[in-house]
Structure 1
Amino acid sequence: MSDEILNKLRYRSESDDLDFKQAQYHFIGGNDTTKSEVLKDILAMANAWREGTGYIVLGFKDQRPHPAEVTGITEQIDDAQLQQFVNSKVKPKLTFRYEEHLYEGKTVGLISVPKQKRPFYIGNAYGKLKSNVVYVRRGSSTDEAEPTEVIAMASDDASHVEIKVDLLVQTPDNADLPDMFAHDYLHLTELFPDYEKPRTRSSSFDIGISSIMHDNRSFLREMGEYIRISRALILVQFVLRNHSQTQLTNVKLEIMVDPLDSQEVEMQEGDKLPKKPRSQWSPLHQEFQSTLLQRESMLQVDDSGIMPLCSVRFGALLPGEQGRSTDSLALIPRGPGKVRLRFRILAAELTAPIESERVLETAGEILSVDFDGFQKFMKAQTRPELAS
């Protein structure tokens, strides 16, 4: 909330999308009757016939035709409590936001209700509200909608909403993803040998450490795979911006990769890429690593089909809101060439997916190396990854 929004609202008269309240709702410590007042007003605003966001402004007295008088509120309401209360009773789930702000030296409140699919109602009677009745705001008052109006709400929302969504394809540091990449493409031609750390005469302290540290016999093989991936890796993140006048729900982005020059392209979830391997390991380190993996990502790659499919779930996006993928998609070309990324944006409010595509080009040399060749390559890069 900003002074700019409140400045604009106070100079307007009450209407289908604006309601002034001189005092705070009696929500904290209130009974079913008093708490049903805020529920009724939010329901009515959500069902109102309007084009943009609806506002319930608390701590303002309507003084039409003059600007609303700032009276302020003395009781505070927690947004999380109000959200839980409203959505425990309303069907379907209703999106709104409650904020408090210091304005002209007084605390005021603002309930913002974005335009979204209607109708909304409560399944069970509560306080002054009836069950399965659609309340709607008309001008400066609240009425019960007629059955024909309820039907009109659903059909109007389905046919008159223009959906505008922007997709930004970026690097993990929020820069625009370039169209051209120059990489090395390592092809490992043999299975690397087991690793064993050279043994030296040990002190009693070293013996104690060695009792909990173990050689990672797969270290050289893991290092080869780690370098192969890191030298060819392209990390991609996605941002969706909702420029519509309505909320979008169940928003999902799908990404497919088409190699255009017959080269293979691996697709992985960025947080599942192999980490830089250790030449030694301990049970304590493995236990710590396993706890880090217990997190559900909004980005997932499904490789069970003919072609791998990446899905990014953004949930709900309010008008003007943007969602960002918290994890990266990892693309690992096996060689140079052109790669086409195909995108599909899906949402409950869309009658058909929004489709687009982007072509990337990867340049560089394919290097087929055995273990000796890999060691020479690493020395040439002056990188210390093989140091034990």
Structure 2
Amino acid sequence: MATSPVEEFFTDQSISSKIKSEIVFKYFKSWANIIGSTTSGKIGYLDFFSGPGKYIDGNDSTPLLILKAAIDNPKLCNNLVTVFQDANKDCINELKKNVSTIPNISNLKYKPHIELETVDEGIASRLKEIELIPSLIFIDPFGYNGLSLELLGNAIKDWGCDCIFFFNYNRINAAISNPIFKNNVNLIFGEEIADKLRQDVVGKTPKQRQALIMGQLAQALNSVKGRFKVEFKFYKEDSGKTSHFIVLVTKHQKGYEVMKEIMASLSDTINGVPTFEYKQKKASAISGDLFGGEEDDKIDLLAEALVKTFSGKSLKVIDIYHQHNVNTPYILSNYKNALMKLEAKGAINVNVPAENRRKIKGQLTLGDDKIITFK
């Protein structure tokens, strides 16, 4: 008997799929809280490659996680509009079935829209023509067909709109140098950046190619006002090669910082600094390519950078973090550790000295509002 697409791709949930769902789900909850604090109106969640909502092993995937969270939250229950689309009829039928069995699903003010739809240039054009309510949009293609720079730009163009997308690095990396897929690559990066990539990757090592591709992706997103990008890397199961990334693109630093903390909580670490990746057991370490090798004490490197950047200045801890953390691997706790190292060396002054600050489980603390003076 032939295996259906649902059975083929949604059998047992892999660890990487579970992490992906957690990233999207945790960001949705934080995003909804932030947007909900500024508006009492409708907010949206759009999933353009939704799948069936549940794995055959019984684990919920993102659509069901989002809907169950909305049911449990009185405000979301009353103001969340959800749209789920997939081009696979079996997936859509399974999703409708799975959604219908959610306890108290009828409590949602807005019934989920579940549609059989192919994500293509027509979707991108429709998003361009309408003003979206504040929405989180999740784009999770099996390969990369349907993913385009135009779609990403139109997804985030309106106030309160962020986008999380699956970037199939393994296949896109191969497509860049293959003329058969020229149009596909042009759609993802834009023609000008795609042409530059085709020239720049020639003769480069895998590590150099990855740095170029992800750097040019950032440039492409910036061209459609996606100022902030943070990604989480996954490896192929049978090697140390990069498989794919989950990427957030947003116009706002707050969203970037929220996602950074979420991804960090699910990440491996080097000397306490997150690598923003999940390694399969067989994967070799390619971690920290942009930020130094494992032998470096990354907190010391951060401390040195802070002294150079803020020499002679006085700022709150939280302001140091906001001004410095973009495009670094560091999260707020890393900044506090670096500052306390500098304090111990006498390189900075804190308006409340160490002996007057509280300790938690024997560890010295440093509050967000403490004022740091760099010598």
User: What TM-score do you get using the length of structure 2 for normalisation?
Assistant: 0.22
The structure whose residues are more often helix, as a share, is 2
* Max Rg structure: 1
The structure whose residues are more often strand, as a share, is 1
User: What TM-score do you get using the length of structure 1 for normalisation?
Assistant: 0.22
